[in-house]
Structure 1
Amino acid sequence: MPSDDSGERAEREHRPSPIDVHVGARVRLRRTLLGMSQEKLGDALGLTFQQVQKYERGVNRIGASRLFDLSRVLDVPIGFFFDDMPDALGGGQSAARRNSFGFADQQDGFDDETLHRRETLELVRAYYRINDASVRKRVFELIKSLTPPD
């Protein structure tokens, strides 16, 4: 008698794809860096905050047109959502392609946890609240000058 694996197959189909989880985490990262609530992001996209939560957890897959809308609202290139993807999930492209956000490659001692610290989020939010681009550039140069040489 053939085995019925439909229950096992159904369970696998309901688990979020690791790629969807990664893209959702990048949506959450950018939203929090901007100091934007799930509700505000949902309003900008015509969604409920619960739908935004499902996208961020990877439970709901983000389609191409929605990804385009997210990139516009969050002010990042579409490639941002795929940056830092583990090699096992299809990452490992060239650094120029992988790092489309314009930052240098990841440095020793700097990991994804650094991006989630309150201090980092507050610093980034304060930096982007500086309206004058020339002042923002001088602040950036000041911070770089205070760090130890590579």
Structure 2
Amino acid sequence: MSSNETVERVEREHRASPIDVHVGTRVRLRRTLLGMSQEKLGEALGLTFQQIQKYERGVNRIGASRLFDLARVLDVPIGFFFDDMSPELGGNAANRSRGGAFGFAEGQEGFEDDTLHRRETLELVRAYYRITDPSIRKRVFDLIKTLSPGE
């Protein structure tokens, strides 16, 4: 192997995989929605917050057992980490048609991924899940649906 080939191979190995970046982004999204710090998540997993940062940026790959632990601590199914993955990365229509991360049955057409990362969205979701009475939470959900523009 020539030195150029070795350098190219090392650069490829150190570049974050798009799938690892996507999974890390989903970890960050869920952690943020729960209002959990990187430090608290790290403590729950026996890791440092720096390791959590590396997972969230996709710099370090998340192994199967660690993904299982993350799903348990973040209280999501493992498939959550792969929801909304673009077809180029191996995502499929079945994941997207299920309603993605929040399990809504309706499709979320026109729902841009950037929306999930806005502070307003995160605050709204946190406030929504702080409503402890399921019937009130359902009424708030129905109210928001009626206030949004029709299709």
The alignment's TM-score, normalised by the length of structure 2, stands at 0.89
Q: Which runs of 5+ in 2 are unaligned?
A: none
Deviations, residues 37-75 of structure 1 (Å, cap 9, x unaligned): 101111111111001001001111111111111111111
Which secondary structure does the structure 2 equivalent of 1:68 belong to?
Answer: helix
- Partner residue in 2 for 1:135: 136
Structure 1 residue 97: deviation in Å?
A: 6.0
Report if the CA contact (8 A) 2:99-2:108 is conserved. no
Separation (CA, whole Å) in 2 of partners of 1:127 and 1:70: 23
1:15-54 equivalent positions in 2, closer than 5 A: 15-54=15-54
Q: Give the structure with the higher percent helix.
A: 2
- Partner residue in 1 for 2:125: 124
Structure 1 residue 96: deviation in Å?
A: 4.5
Report if the CA contact (8 A) 1:76-1:101 is conserved. no
Separation (CA, whole Å) in 2 of partners of 1:129 and 1:50: 29
Identity over aligned pairs, percent: 76
Query: Quick check: 1:74 aligned with 2:65?
Result: no
CA RMSD of aligned residues (A): 1.7
Task: Give the stretch that moved more between structures: 19-28 or 133-142.
Answer: 133-142
Separation (CA, whole Å) in 2 of partners of 1:48 and 1:40: 9
- Partner residue in 1 for 2:109: 107
Structure 1 residue 105: deviation in Å?
A: 2.5
Structure 1 residue 101: deviation in Å?
A: 4.0
- Partner residue in 2 for 1:145: 146
For this pair of structures, how many residues does the alignment match? Answer: 148
